[in-house]
């Protein structure tokens, strides 16, 4: 049964019958191979070919890669997506920690509040996108109506229609969606803290802020960092929300890598699937580097502290 057992024994290994193992794992492997592995390999293959309908694909070497290097829109999309992926996780996790503390301190109505804060994450981005387009509407949108009501009508503007505010407005939407989710995870982490540690802190006559800063936060740090990485990965994928609301407008100010890939592959009449595949491959490398970098950074800090 042990892994070191000689392969000769494998056939007589009753605890690990090869036939049963194959049967159990095969369906999952087939689905994985056909609908995940093959498409990924296909995309990598595409990235060095010119692929237009009704013609055999043509090897173009690294032409797409060099073209990508001087593609202004691509770099704009990368910048927007990275901004999103840098700002949103911090906003989400910080606000979520504050909210979780409120519920942890057992404010009244915490059950209702938890439901109200968590619900946005359950909605489809299509629903969320349309809803927030109305909220940001210039004439009758909720945001401008409120601004006018409190005498700040001068600030009212078409939030999604102006290049300076469009991206920030969309970041506010993803924050609205995901903060509640982060809050629930953080609350779960706080609730599972060993009560002896917290009681010890109280015995030491530790103030609530000191208790939070020196006891609670360090203890839930792994969860917080995990959430930052998860949120980062999520924001690097953002597509639906942008597609429903702005489609990258105005002036590419909300263009993300996902929407640009989609446009180049299925919308613009260039009919070439090679170039968008190149974008996808480069983006895959950037995301991977980002995730590895973050993980490494957080590990490094952990090592320094202990």
The residues in 116-135 that bind other proteins, with binding defined as CB under 8 A, are 116-127, 130-132, 134-135
Residue nearer to other proteins on the CB measure, 29 or 155: 29
Binding residues among 189-208 for other proteins as defined by CB under 8 A: 189
Give the nearer residue to other proteins in terms of CB position, either 218 or 222: 222
Tell me: does residue 265 bind other proteins (CB under 8 A).
yes
Calpha distance 134→144 (Å, rounded): 10
Choose between 200 and 267: whose C-beta lies nearer to other proteins: 267
Output 95 or 166, the one with its CB closest to other proteins: 95
Task: Show the DSSP H helices in the chain as ranges.
Answer: 7-10, 18-32, 38-46, 63-69, 72-104, 110-118, 125-135, 142-149, 166-191, 195-203, 208-210, 217-236, 240-245, 257-262, 274-305
Q: For residues 66-95, which are near other proteins according to CB under 8 A?
A: 95
CA distance 61 to 41: 16
How many residues form the binding site for other proteins (CB under 8 A)? 95
Q: Residue from 180, 246, 248, 255 that binds other proteins (CB under 8 A)?
A: 180
Determine if 226 is a binding residue for other proteins (CB under 8 A).
yes
* Contact by Cβ (8 Å): 260, 80: no
Contacts of 84 (CB under 8 A, 6+ apart): 167, 170, 171, 174, 235, 238, 256
* Residue list 141-160, contact with other proteins (CB under 8 A): 142, 145
Quick one: 134 or 163, whose CB is closer to other proteins? 134
Q: For residue 201, what are its two tokens?
A: 């802190």
């Amino acid at each position: 049964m042990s892994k070191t057992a000689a392969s000769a024994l494998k056939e007589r290994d009753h605890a690990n019958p090869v036939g049963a193992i194959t049967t159990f794992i095969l369906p999952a492997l087939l689905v994985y191979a056909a609908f995940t592995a093959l498409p990924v390999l296909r995309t990598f293959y595409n990235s060095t070919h010119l692929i237009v309908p009704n013609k055999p694909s043509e090897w173009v070497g690294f032409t797409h890669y060099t073209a990508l290097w001087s593609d202004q829109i691509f770099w704009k999309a990368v910048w927007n997506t990275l901004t999103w992926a840098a700002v949103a996780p911090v906003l989400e996790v910080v606000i979520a920690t504050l909210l979780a503390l409120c519920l942890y301190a057992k404010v009244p109505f915490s059950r209702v509040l938890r439901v109200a804060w968590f619900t946005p994450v359950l909605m489809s981005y299509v629903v969320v996108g349309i809803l927030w387009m109305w909220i940001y509407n210039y004439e009758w949108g909720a945001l401008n109506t409120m601004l006018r009501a409190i005498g700040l009508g001068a600030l009212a503007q078409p939030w999604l229609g102006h290049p300076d505010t469009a991206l920030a407005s969309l970041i506010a939407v993803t924050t609205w969606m995901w903060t509640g989710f982060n809050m629930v995870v953080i609350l779960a982490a706080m609730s599972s803290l060993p009560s002896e540690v917290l009681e010890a802190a109280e015995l030491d006559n530790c103030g609530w802020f000191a208790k939070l800063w020196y006891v609670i936060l360090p203890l839930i740090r792994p969860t917080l960092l995990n959430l930052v990485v998860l949120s980062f990965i999520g924001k690097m994928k953002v597509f639906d929300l942008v597609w429903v609301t702005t489609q990258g407008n105005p002036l590419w100010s909300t263009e993300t890598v996902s929407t640009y890939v989609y446009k180049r592959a299925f919308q613009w009449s260039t009919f070439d699937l090679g170039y968008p595949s190149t974008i996808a491959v480069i983006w895959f490398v950037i995301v991977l580097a980002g995730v590895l970098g973050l993980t490494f950074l957080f590990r490094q800090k952990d090592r320094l502290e202990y």
